Structure 1
Amino acid sequence: MTQTVAHESNESEEAFAERARTFLRAHAAPRAAEERFVWGKGSDAPTMFEKLDRAAELRALAEAKEWRATKFDAGFAWIMGPPALGGAGLDRRYQDIWDRLEATYDVPSGSYFGIGLGMVAPTILAHAREEVAADLLPKLQRADLVACQLFSEPGAGSDLASLQMRAERDGDEWVLNGQKVWTSGAHYSDIGEVIARSDPDKPKHRGLTGFIVDMHAPGVDVRPLRQMTGGSNFNEVFFTDVRVPDRWRLGDVNDGWRVALTTLMNERASIGGGGVGGGGSGMVRLIEMARHFGVADDRLVRQELARVHIEDQVRHWTSARAMASLSAGRTPGPELSIGKLGLIRTIQATCDLVAHILGPRMVVDTGEWGTFNWSGYVLGAPAMRIAGGSDETLRNIVGERVLGLPKEPGIDTTSPYRDLKVGTQAR
């Protein structure tokens, strides 16, 4: 691995920007100016999850890894990272400068690294042994390694603490057995963060332990899951006597719930930053759809267009406030669930609007531009209502941990109505 170029942490914003421009001019081509959106021209495939065959996906991943490594070696991949681990040691202002400048150049997508860098890496930094973090984090940031998140199981999704995958201690190793499901990117990942049940006799939240696992280890079996969109962005992963060294444990034994919460809070921050969809044009595309089909003056359609815009703006401002809090050094908290819920409201408003305008055109492929391909977006929306915590779970988190409302009665809590007889009324 090439050593990252070090720079003074007191570098001025102007000097940093000029250095970034020089690097980008030398390594990438400027992005062509975005043409004004015109209905009927360009791509009409605003899918929620892009459908790529595995060969094309691997080619795109290789290009993304090469670009990430080039950035890392020049000091632009981990701008806010600690210098001791290969980061540039700069603050959010410099990251924002880089993001704005990089967006003006035609470079590979970094979406393959979103889970590893946005969710797994912060958890490693917070909970892994110092020597393990020093080894793995620079490799993740340089894209020498790609990481996935292995949490959900067939019987444990929103109620993650009900997971049943076992981790049994064997000397200086742990032996993992069980199944995980809905794992994005598992088929091209090198390592994964996994939570397993290490003590079945403890209450469910207290008998879990977190680990980093080698996705190429013997006994790890990754199988693609076909979605109703037609793609296979997710996987199920089976573990059969998979051995993990104890030094790759995250946090203390049986304290895996704390580890999981670190990941989940970062996950909701990452997901909540999404947008309306429908391509870079967003609202313009939706407005032009209404005009094309002659309903732009329909009062209900105009109301639904306004709803999409309002939901997206509120989500954007909420996420910006949360990101500012993180930039100030605060730990991600339950309030980040609001950003993810805001994204879902925006997506649902978009689906409602598109279904209203297109009607049967969205479910019957007549070849008409801008119609049937919206079905991929609508069919992908339910997955987003589950990813990062279901809507119901996140509402409970916001109600209980942000607003301070009483805990939702459940199988693990005492209901205030437990003594209420059938046919009686509460007084």
Structure 2
Amino acid sequence: MKIALVELGLWNPGKYARHSALEPIAIEYVGSTAKSKGHNVRLFQQRTESNEELTNKILDFEPDLVGFSAMTYAFPDGLEIAGRIKQKNPDVYTVFGGYHASSTPEIVQYDSIDFTVIGEGENALVELVQKLENNEEVSNIKGLSYFNGSEVISNQLRERIDLDNQPWPIREERFFKNTLITGITDPPIGKQKIAQISYSRGCPFHCKYCASPNVYGSAVKWRKAENVTAEIKYLKDNFNVNLLYFTDLTFNLNKERVFELNDLLKEEKINWIAMASPDINIDYDLLREMKEAGCTRLMYGIESVHDRIAESVGRKGNHRAKRLEELFRINDELGIITRAFLMIGNLNETKEDIKGYLDTLKKILPDEIRIGITTPLPGTALFEEAKRHKLLIYTKFPEDWRRYSTRE
């Protein structure tokens, strides 16, 4: 089967959530699994193309099935493109996956969507394609949702994927040509050739604002460190990659695994970036080892500097501001570039709380600060709480999903 896989989301700093331009790792993984089963796969990534331009590119490929990966803010564009495709060729199957589809499987009721995949998409899509090719019933495919004409049917969730048994993502030079990660980096913008790579998938925590549990549940699945470094060697040898971005939601979740990977990364002599939590398994010894293994920048999900607010969204209080001050001092001492992610506008936050951020930020002095507007993403406890208290401002869906970008 000819399969087109599409990552949606214009690269539009200041309006949408994506400020960096990275290769489409999610569909690269799904595509590699489909390709390993003999299917003809082509990847499409929306960077600057209009929906019409992207639609035409997809149709030129003449696919039998189009799979879309979209965050919430990009879903309306996906719906429009799927509709354009169906108008041109009603026989093309359309499938939506990723965070938004896993959080709102009911979107399958739209005429332009045939199926949604809840959770990891690699094996679900391959099984779906096989069933469609053989004209077999799809009602027993785990992780699949569909509309039977009167109600949405969501099948049992699939078992989590064994990452070591999955083929590595499809890598194509065209996706590396214009990749960049913004901010202070080493190598700097203009000299980067950056690749995304995964050591783990999932997060055991259930923060009120996060949609991760809708995709991964509570379990975290890891790759063997040797598998990760073998892929790094491949990226260096075949694409001259000089900077890695670890996609792990919490890189420092398991200290033993981090130390194990660090030992191997030291041999690779490549710089890398990761996301970390300031609340667990983070100390001088770990950070020193990470620095020696090539870590040049860490992005910390602080969200709030106040104990009361942090605890209200499922994060750790415990003298948070003081802990952050010491943590960022260590990073600075070791020469690790830091970015602090903050959320402004939590449900129980006051103007005085927001003013208090400045005092703490002056003490911790992160190298970069990124402030997002607290956004109740669908499928999260925060969304349900805001809905229950009638605090949702934008509710004209699907169009208003564009506003759920953390920038408005």
Higher strand share: 2
TM-score under structure 1 normalisation?
0.22
Which structure dedicates a bigger proportion of its chain to helix? 1
Larger Rg: 1
TM-score norm. by structure 2 comes to 0.23
